Amino acid sequence: MTRIRRMFVPAIALVLAVALAAFAQAQQSARPERTGQRPRRSGGYRRGSLLGLVSLEQVQKEMKLNEEQIGKVKKVVETLRAEMRKEYGALREIEDRAKRIAKMTELRKQFDGKARKQLSAMVSKEQMMRLHQIRLQVRPVLDSLGEKYVAGRLKLTDEQKKKLGEINKDMQAERSKLFTSMRDAGREQRSEAYANYRKLRTDANKKALELLTAEQKKIFEELKGKAIKLESRRPRPATRPADK
């Protein structure tokens, strides 16, 4: 294998990994009307991230942000977006897949922390709480239960945390297989992989919820606040009349 190919393959794998993750996140909030329809991403961000959510006009309205706050939020989004492009672009240089994924996870946490800190300084406590509530509604259950705050509120036992870790480990292993199978995949195989990944996430979320007691499930639902269904697609352009 030539040096160019050695660099190209990891880059393709990274793109596919991010695409699958973004697809799965969007599916947690709203499903497309047609099978195979890819959901719209929020400004290039994962919809389960604070930065991705606050970029959506629908979420800004739900948070009741005023014009001044929206302007400040926009600047934060643009600044962090530029940083993210640079940092994520550098991931292509990491040929070892395990190290690349570990770095990607680290960056996600890093930018999520930056977004939380900067947003908290420009919106009220109630507005920030609403953003977190929406996030709990769209994120995979495993990710949400892995948060220290959520785990604390639910009073997860050590045994529950251990089993959640096992579910996550198994899911990551299956996801790894999907990524590998997509390296030389065509359009139909990619569509199938998206469907398989969606099912993988759904099954993992179901197993995670089954570990909770009735009381924990009740508290978990309360933490999500008022239900909101995020728009999943861009409006279709008006149909152009056929040429006569």
The pLDDT score that the predictor gives to residue 95 is: 85
Q: For residue 126, is pLDDT > 90?
A: yes
Q: Which residue has the higher pLDDT, 43 or 189?
A: 189
For the chain, what is the mean pLDDT? Answer: 79
Distance CA 83, CA 89 (A): 10
Question: Measured between alpha carbons, how far is 167 from 173 in angstroms, rounded to an integer?
Answer: 10
- To the question of pTM greater than 0.75 for the whole model, the response is no
Q: What integer is the mean pLDDT of 207-228?
A: 96
pLDDT of amino acid 209:
96
Q: So what's the pLDDT on residue 125?
A: 96
Reported confidence tier of residue 44, pLDDT bands at 50, 70, 90: very low
pLDDT at 232: 66
Say what the alpha-carbon torsion angle 125, 130, 136, 137 is, to the nearest 10 degrees.
Answer: 180
Residue whose C-alpha is closest to residue 209's, from 115, 140, 147, 152:
140
Q: Which of 5-19, 32-46, 167-181 has the lowest mean pLDDT?
A: 32-46
Contacts of 189 (CB under 8 A, 6+ apart): 181, 182
Mean pLDDT for 80-88 is: 91
Label residue 222 by pLDDT band (50, 70, 90): very high
Instruction: Identify the pLDDT of residue 129.
Output: 97
Contact 46, 52 (CB under 8 A): yes
Task: State the Rg of the chain over Cα.
Answer: 19
pLDDT band at 228 (very low <50, low <70, confident <90, very high): very high
pLDDT in tens, 133-191: 999 999 999 999 999 999 999 999 999 999 999 999 998 888 888 777 777 777 777 78
- Give 53 or 23, the one with higher predicted confidence: 53
